[in-house]
Chain A
Amino acid sequence: MSAVAPTETITGQVAGVTPGLKRRRAGVPRAAKHLRSNRTAYLMIAPMVILLSIFVVWPLIYAIYLSFFKISFYKGSEFVGLQYYMFVLQDPKFWNSLLIGIEFAAMVVPIGMVISLLLASFIKVLSKRLASFMKVTVYVPAVISTVVASVLFVFMYQDQGVVNWFLSLLNAGPVAWLNNPGTALPAIAVPAIWLGLGITTLIMLAGLLDIPNSYYESAELDGAGFFKRTFYITIPLLKNILLYLFVTGFTAAIQMLDLPLIMTNGGPVNATTTPNLFIFNSFRAATPYATSFSLTTALLLFVALGLISVLVFRLINSDKAVDG
C-alpha cells in the first residue's frame, strides 16, 4: 500500500501505466477504503456483539441445551429429551399464567397510553414554565422503586386504607382488593399504570412536539375540534411512537414480576400469577424437577412473548405507518 500510494494523483490516476491497469489499480484504494470503513464499523459494534454473545446468546444456547436434561446438582443430569417441554405445555397453571399476563397487559397498556396521550396533549398547550413543572411531576413515579410502590399500594388497599375510606364515604365497602380473585389483578394494574405513566407521557410529548403546528392550524380553520384533530392528525402521525410504546409496554407488562410478587404473591387462588411469577414460584421448590421445569417454562415464555410481539406488529401493520 505505502509503495503504491505516492504514485497516485488526486484524481486517482497512476502515472506511467496503461489505462486498463489504471482502472484496476484505481480500484485498489477504493476497496481498501471500503474495507477500512467496514473494519471501523466492526470494531465499533464488537464490544456490544461480544457482550451480547457472553450474556445473551451463549446463556440462551446453553439454556436450550440444559432444557433437554433433568438437572441435578448432585447426581449428574439425566437426558430426557423433550419431556419437560411436554410437562410445561400440559400444565394448566402455565397456560393460566399466560392468560393472566395477557389480561394484565390488556389492562395496563391501553389505559396507560390513553392517560399518557391526554396528559401529553395537556402539557403541550401549557406555558414553558408550567410544562416543565408538569413534566417533572408526571415523571416522578418513574423513579420510584416498584418495591416501594407495591408496599405503598398494599397500605392503600387495606381495610382501613385510603381506598376503602373513599368507599366508606359512599356507604360502600370495605372491599378486600388484594384478597379477592375478582379484584386482585385490576388492583395490581393500578400501580403498574401509575409507574409507567411518566416515561410514556414524555415519549408521547416528544412525538406531539414533532408534529408541525401548521397541520393543526389548517384543521382549526376547517372547523375541526379537539377530537377530530386527535383522530385525524395526532394519532396517525404518532403511529410509530404508539406502536413502539404498545409493543414495549405489552412485553414489559406481560413479564411483570415485582408487583404481584410483593402485593399478592400470585394469589388469591393464582389470580395474579403472571408468567414470570409462575417461573419464580416453580424455582422455589428445591427439587431437580423444579429446576428443569422452571428453565423450560422460561424458554417457552421467551417463544410466547416473541410470537405475541410478531402478532402485534402484524395486526398494527407497522410498515404502512405514516412518518410525520
Chain B
Amino acid sequence: MHKRRNKAVAFAAAVVSTALVLTGCSAGGGTPTDGGTTNVTFWQQKFEDYQGVWFKKYVDEFNKSQDKVHVDYQVIPADTWTQKLQAAQAAGKQPDIATTSYGNIAAGVVNGQFSALDDYMPAESFSDIKDNVSSFVTIDGKHYAYPMLVEPSTVLYYNTDLVSAAGLDPNSPPTTWDELIDWSTKLTSGDVKGMTIASVAPDIAWSSWGLQYNACGHLPISDDWSKADATDPCYDKLLDLYKSLYQGGLIPQQPKVGYADGSPYGAGEVAMMAGGSWVIGQLKADYPDMYAKTQVAAFPSIDGDPTKPTATLGGWTLTLDSKSKNPQAAADFIQYLLAGDPAIMADFFKAAGYSKYTVRTSVDEALADDPDASADPFMQTISEKVVAYGKQEPGYPFDVALAFGTAVESAMKGTDTVEGSLTTADAAINDVITKQGLAGTAPQN
C-alpha cells in the first residue's frame, strides 16, 4: 500500500514536472527582493560588440558598489527583440529597464508602457540633458526615458583614392542629388559600384526620413497624424533619385547586408556610401586602412541647399517599465549609468570611437580635455553640417514609415511608376491612420 502510494506520488510529480517543462513555466528571472537585495532586470538590445562590453562592465560595477539593488543584465538580439519583449509582457515577466529608441517613446507612452522618470530621479539629472535632446524624451512635460546618445541617420562617406582616380575632386563632394548621380556614374567601374544606399523597404523606411524632410520639408503624414501626405509632387524627385541609382546599376543590385552595416564600403566594394554616423566606429575598428582614405560630408540636398535637413537624429535611451515592481531601484540604476558620474558616459563615447553624440552638458565637459574627442575631423563635419540641421525621428507607428519605404522600393525596382507608388503609399498611410486611430495622437512636446 505504501509502495503504491509512493508510486502514485512519483507519477504525479513526474506528470506535473513534465507539464511544467513542456509549458515552459518557471519561477522567472528572480524574485523582486531577495534577502534584502532588490533584483531588477535590464534588457539591452544587441548593438556593436564594444557596447555590450561597456554595459557589462558598468552593470558589474553597479552591482559591486552597493548591496541594495542587483541588476540582472541580458542582451537580446535585435531581430527577436519585439517578439521576446511582447512575449515577456504577455506573461508579466517584462524587464524593469529596457533600451528604447527615441522613435518608440511616444507610442509606448500612449500604450502606458513607461513610467515617468521624474518621480524617481532628481531634477538636476534632467537639467543636465541638452535642450534639443530633452524634447525627444519629454511628453506633456514629463521625461519618459533617459537619453544615452544621438546619432544622425545619414552621412555621405567616400573613398578619396577612387574619387581622385575618377578625376573628381575629393575636397568638393557632391552637393545636389544630380551631382550625386553623376559621381556615382563616374565611380562605378567593374565590380566596384559608385554608391550604396538602402534598397529594401524596411531600411528605406527609416533611413530616408531626413531625405523626406529634404525633399518636401515634411514627412508623408500631416503634423497631427490625421491624413496622409505622400502624394506631394516634391517626393517624385526623391523616388527618382533611388530609382536612378538602382536601375542605373550604380548601387549593388543584391546588397549582402542592411543599411546600418558599413562593411561593403569598408571592404572596398563601393566608392561612396550613405550611412549613419555609427559607421565611423566600424571603420576605425574593422577597416583602419579604408578609414585612412575616407572623407565624410553631409548627404547631398535636393537643390544644393546645405541648410536643409538630410538626416534624422536617432539614438537610444533607457526606459522604466510601468509594471516594474521596483521602480525606484530600477531608476537608481538608470541614474547611476546614464545620469550620474559623467566619466561613465565619457568612457562609452571613447569606446565608440567618438562616432556618436553626447546628450549631457556634463559629459561634454568631461570630454573637453580629451584631444581625440575634439580633434576628430569627421565628427566636426557631421556636427556642423548634419546634426545642426537634423530633425527628430518621428514617433508614429513603423507601418507609416514602411508604407513610404515600400513606395520607394516599388519605384526603384519597377513594380510601379513613381506616381503610382506614392498613391499606393498614400492609401496605405490613410489605412494605418484609420485602423490604428492615429488622428490627433501626435505627441506634443
Contact = CB atoms under 8 A, between A and B. Distances in A.
Contacts of A159: 191, 252-254
A271 B416 CA distance: 13
Interface stretch (A23-31, A108-116, A222-230, A281-289): A281-289
A103 B398 CA distance: 28
A63 B413 CA distance: 38
A287 B436 contact: yes
A177 B254 CA distance: 8
Interface in B385-422: 397-399, 406, 409-410, 413-415
Contacts of B295: none
Contacts of A179: 199-200, 253-255, 413
B31 interface: no
A157 B415 CA distance: 21
A107 B150 CA distance: 47
Contacts of B398: 285
Contact of B86 (A54, A174, A265, A291): A291
A265 B255 CA distance: 13
B148 to A, nearest CB: 19
A267 B413 CA distance: 11
Given A267-B200, A285-B397, A160 B191 contact: yes
Nearest to A180: B413
Contact of B436 (A158, A174, A271, A289): A289
A54 B254 contact: no
Contacts of B82: 283-286
Contacts of B254: 157-159, 176-179
A74 B413 CA distance: 41
A53 B201 CA distance: 41
A284 B415 CA distance: 25
Given A75-B112, A179-B199, A284 B399 contact: no
A196 B293 CA distance: 49
A72 B111 contact: yes
Interface residues of B, number: 40
A157 B90 CA distance: 40
Interface in A169-184: 174, 176-181
A23 B85 CA distance: 69
A178 B253 CA distance: 9
A265 B112 contact: no
Contacts of A121: none
Contacts of A285: 82, 397-399
Interface residues of A, number: 34
Interface in B164-222: 191, 199-202
Nearest to B258: A265
With most chain A CB atoms within 10 A of its CB, the pick from B104, B191, B253 is B253
B46 interface: no
A146 interface: no
A91 B436 CA distance: 13
Contacts of A268: 200, 409, 413
A276 B87 CA distance: 18
Contacts of A269: 201, 406, 409-410, 413, 415
A267 B201 contact: yes
Nearest to B107: A287
B415 A181 contact: yes
Interface in B70-116: 82-83, 85-86, 89-90, 94, 104, 107-108, 111-113
A283 B111 contact: no
A289 B435 contact: yes
Nearest to A289: B436
With most chain A CB atoms within 10 A of its CB, the pick from B82, B94, B255 is B82
A73 interface: yes
Interface string B360-375: 0000000000000000
Contacts of B431: 91
6 contacts: A54-B19, A73-B89, A177-B254, A179-B255, A181-B414, A289-B397
Given A54-B23, A285-B82, A285-B398, 14 more contacts: A73-B89, A74-B89, A74-B111, A74-B112, A74-B113, A75-B111, A179-B255, A181-B413, A267-B200, A267-B202, A268-B200, A287-B397, A287-B436, A289-B436
10 closest A-B pairs by beta carbon, nearest first, are A176-B253, A73-B89, A74-B112, A75-B112, A179-B254, A289-B436, A269-B415, A176-B254, A284-B82, A269-B410
Interface of B: 19, 22-23, 82-83, 85-86, 89-90, 94, 104, 107-108, 111-113, 191, 199-202, 252-256, 322-323, 397-399, 406, 409-410, 413-415, 431, 435-436
